[in-house]
Amino acid sequence: MLTDSEIERLRQAIIATIASPVIGAIEDYTWEAIFHYVKDIPLSDPALGRSKLLYDAVDLVTKTGWSLKSLQLNSFNFGSSFLFVIQRADIIKKSIQLGFPGLTEQSSPNELGAAIIQHWNEKIISSQAAQGVVNSYESILLKTIKGYEYIYCEFPLNPLDPNTFSWAWTVDKITGRSGAGLQGTVAGKTELVWYKNQKQLFRARTIPEQAVRIKVARVRLTLDRYVKTVLSALQDQINTQFSEDKPEE
């Protein structure tokens, strides 16, 4: 989890971010940028290209990687659960590659589930190798639409054991037939849900008691003040860099 100083950096970064009148909410790359500030690690310019690997932030010194997610919930309390997408998993198309030749949507739930976990585990293992990650985490920023309350959750992110899962199709409440979602449960608790139509894999998480809750005042700069402030800071940074790079006479 975050240290006390990192929690304070997170609070300050949230305040600074939502103060910008050109940012509607903290999501995607905005959350990645905030997290890099919190951990004080270099942030690359997205114009240089985005990686499709698992870890959105990597500390090369400690070999720690974080997969970052930001989610908006209607409300949240410690102990409540939520679902979010972790991967597009077209296991039917990749059945041979995964070691499940002949796999179809009509295959048994357990066989489909085994292929799903194999697909996800390969993503973790290949990304760890490519990005030099030893310590692996999933870091999630939860928020409400009002934008003044946030919860930071962090979970270990390691390959899953397929032997601990039980799989079954959801049941359509109207028709009573098998639904579009395949649920993977551990000890009766839903952990994964795969939707065959969109080929999206969702993960279920529960907000732990040690999660960090942050409340801030939502104060927004005017557009004029924001633009003038940024341009002034940008010019100051350019002047500083020019002075540092200027050769001594």
> For 133, how many CA atoms within 13 A lie in the half-sphere containing its CB?
26
> Strand, helix or coil at 24?
coil
Report the pLDDT value the prediction gives residue 171, as an integer from 0 to 100. 82
Summarize pLDDT for 99-123 with one digit per residue, the tens: 999 999 999 999 999 999 999 999 9
pLDDT at 17 over 80: yes
Starting at the edge strand that comes first in sequence, how are the strands of the sheet with 189-195 ordered? Answer: 81-88, 200-206, 189-195, 178-186, 166-171
Per the model's pLDDT, the better-predicted residue between 197 and 138 turns out to be 138
CA–CA separation, 14 vs 70, rounded Å?
13
Centroid of chain to Cα 186: 22
pLDDT at 248 over 80: no
What is each CA distance from 84 to 40, 93, 143, 175, in whole angstroms? 27, 23, 13, 26
Summarize pLDDT for 62-77 with one digit per residue, the tens: 999 999 999 999 888 8
pLDDT at 244 over 90: no
Report the pLDDT value the prediction gives residue 172, as an integer from 0 to 100. 73
